Chains A and B, each alone.
Chain A
């Protein structure tokens, strides 16, 4: 149920946007992330973008963690 997918915003029209999911384009609601811009990535759950996604992956987190850096 909390399953969600990353998508790239390719166009915005008010609270609606079109997002690209690995080549499949789908309309989503962006009312919960009002500051999102074209070209940025979001996580989409049940048709709604719930949060902006940045690019740090697990390995970058691990690298910082092993350096002893506080990760928040």
Chain B
């Protein structure tokens, strides 16, 4: 442990030296929510040189799930369709309440750790719908469950189009991305290469993140815009071809609806098989949802946190009326949400 502390101290000095050589303010975005956790838990943000800003990005699937989708699934649950989904999603408030609240009112809503639990529930509840969410890392599991006959309401998303959107929107100038390690375990390295921005695919231990930042600011200093890989123990050049094929077999790419962004073309994944696609199977129920209410502003600024425009504490509700115990928005619900992480660690 002493050796690790010494190496971390040396690395922080190196980061300061390179930042000093750069001599201007730079912005690094850690796009993955699990990186945000490591950065906050280890106090890395506070150890950065004054001219290096670390921003949180959109890599929290719960946070970017659109209000319309939450409201749609709540209507399915209220109509008597049993719903299973990952735990965090139960607490995210939609306009018509949260899944947790409709469960308290008698709806059949189940929290699962894995799609295999959803498949097991299907034996008792044949009409069960799995509310599928998550990026490239999580989609292969849903793909496997689709092959076993699970009905899915998909909000699965490809992550890289969101990074493209951040760059093309130009709201903030991003000098480099700490790119997501576990998304990359599936997609590999090549899909990042068109982005024309400095990137380091990075692991999730404290030392990984420090080495990733060091490699990234060396790139920025040298004026390089490459994709480098710090997470070599996991991320392979071609990713996981078995998982990628599984996704291609069961999903088709369409527009994705992201909280904070709106529609990002070619970022959404819809279930190919109409018999297992809950949006088609239950279109009669879903066509009656008043989505105009989903768009009503709530005062929650999660969308701006996701795009790196504000830090959580700049939201007037943060820590006052919006806390992990009583969240107003998804960034405070999820363990990976920028607001939740900031509240717990800082």
Query: Which A residues touch B235, using CB under 8 A?
Result: 51
A45, A47, A50, A56: residue with the most chain B Cβ atoms closer than 10 Å? A50
Q: Which residue of B lies closest to A43 (CB)?
A: B234
Q: List 30 A-B contacts (CB under 8 A).
A: A1-B61, A1-B62, A1-B134, A1-B137, A1-B336, A2-B32, A2-B182, A2-B183, A2-B336, A3-B182, A29-B114, A31-B144, A32-B240, A32-B246, A43-B182, A43-B185, A46-B141, A47-B116, A48-B141, A50-B140, A51-B186, A51-B236, A54-B233, A56-B233, A58-B205, A58-B230, A62-B214, A71-B228, A72-B189, A72-B229
Interface of A is mostly: loop
B33, B228, B234, B242: residue with the most chain A Cβ atoms closer than 10 Å? B234
- Tell me the A residues contacting B by CB distance below 8 Å: 1-4, 29, 31-34, 43, 45-48, 50-59, 61-62, 65, 71-72
Known: A1-B86, A45-B138. A50 touches B62 (CB 8 A): no
Q: How far is it, in angstroms, between the C-alpha of A61 and the C-alpha of B141 when the chains are bound?
A: 30
Is the CB of B174 closer than 8 A to any CB of chain A?
Answer: no
Q: How far is it, in angstroms, between the C-alpha of A2 and the C-alpha of B157 when the chains are bound?
A: 13
Is the CB of B267 closer than 8 A to any CB of chain A?
Answer: no
Is the CB of B7 closer than 8 A to any CB of chain A?
Answer: yes
Task: Decide if B140 touches A48 in the complex (CB within 8 Å).
Answer: yes
Q: How far is it, in angstroms, between the C-alpha of A46 and the C-alpha of B243 when the chains are bound?
A: 14
How many chain B residues touch A (CB < 8 A): the figure is 56
Task: Decide if A50 touches B336 in the complex (CB within 8 Å).
Answer: no
Q: How far is it, in angstroms, between the C-alpha of A46 and the C-alpha of B115 when the chains are bound?
A: 8
How close is A64's CB to chain B, nearest CB, in angstroms?
9
What is the total of A-B residue contacts with beta carbons within 8 Å? Answer: 124
Task: Decide if B230 touches A50 in the complex (CB within 8 Å).
Answer: no
Task: Decide if A33 touches B242 in the complex (CB within 8 Å).
Answer: yes
Q: Which residue of B lies closest to A16 (CB)?
A: B116
How close is B70's CB to chain A, nearest CB, in angstroms?
15
Query: Which A residues touch B237, using CB under 8 A?
Result: 72
B86 contacts which of A4, A34, A46 (Cβ < 8 Å)?
A: A46
Is the CB of B135 closer than 8 A to any CB of chain A?
Answer: yes
Task: Decide if B59 touches A2 in the complex (CB within 8 Å).
Answer: yes
Known: A46-B115, A56-B232, A72-B237. A2 touches B211 (CB 8 A): no
Task: Decide if A2 touches B243 in the complex (CB within 8 Å).
Answer: no
